[in-house]
């Protein structure tokens, strides 16, 4: 599968061999609906283990009910690139490396914002 770009429509935590994975439903620009998983590094960036579990190696099952809405809020509507590796589809958030900042500050931007007259 060639890498496709789409938006996350659904994000849910799943357990595989008692390990947390994030399964996403992605709507591509061509109208396809794909199921893809977040790589562990991307899941760790969204849901920091140190905050949710600490140094422990066991997580209570009730933690999934906390993780599910967090995962949804952090992933829904975001643009992702879907790619395949070893017979499985994965989704990665778009990288910053393609973003270039303008030398000039945009008018109305954070530092150029004008306050409305009262």
> Which tokens go with 114?
């004008």
Tens-place pLDDT, residues 80-103: 999 999 999 999 998 888 888 888
User: If the chain, 118 residues long, is cut into consecutive pieces of 10 residues, what is the mean pLDDT of each piece?
Assistant: 86 94 95 95 92 86 92 95 93 89 72 55
- CATH code: domain of residue 11: 2.40.50
pLDDT for position 100: 87
Domain of residue 75 covers 4-91
Residue 85 lies in a domain: yes
Residue 98 lies in a domain: no
Domain count across the chain = 1
CA distance 2 to 108: 39
Residue 118 lies in a domain: no
Percent of the chain with pLDDT over 90: 61
Cα three-residue angle 74-5-88, rounded to 5 degrees = 85
Residue 76 lies in a domain: yes
Residue 116 lies in a domain: no
Residue 110 lies in a domain: no
Residue 113 lies in a domain: no
CA distance 79 to 94: 7
Residue 18 lies in a domain: yes
CA distance 26 to 29: 10
């Amino acid at each position: 599968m060639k890498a496709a770009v789409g938006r996350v429509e659904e994000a849910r935590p799943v357990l595989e061999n008692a390990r947390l994975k994030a399964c996403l439903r992605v709507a591509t620009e061509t109208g396809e609906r794909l199921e893809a998983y977040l790589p562990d590094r991307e899941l760790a960036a969204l849901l920091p283990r140190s905050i949710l579990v600490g140094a422990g190696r066991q997580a209570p099952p009730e933690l999934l009910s906390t993780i599910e809405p967090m995962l949804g809020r952090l992933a829904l509507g975001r643009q992702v690139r879907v790619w395949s590796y070893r017979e499985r589809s994965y989704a990665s958030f778009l990288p910053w490396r393609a973003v270039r900042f303008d030398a000039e500050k945009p008018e109305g931007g954070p530092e150029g914002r004008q306050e409305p007259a009262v």
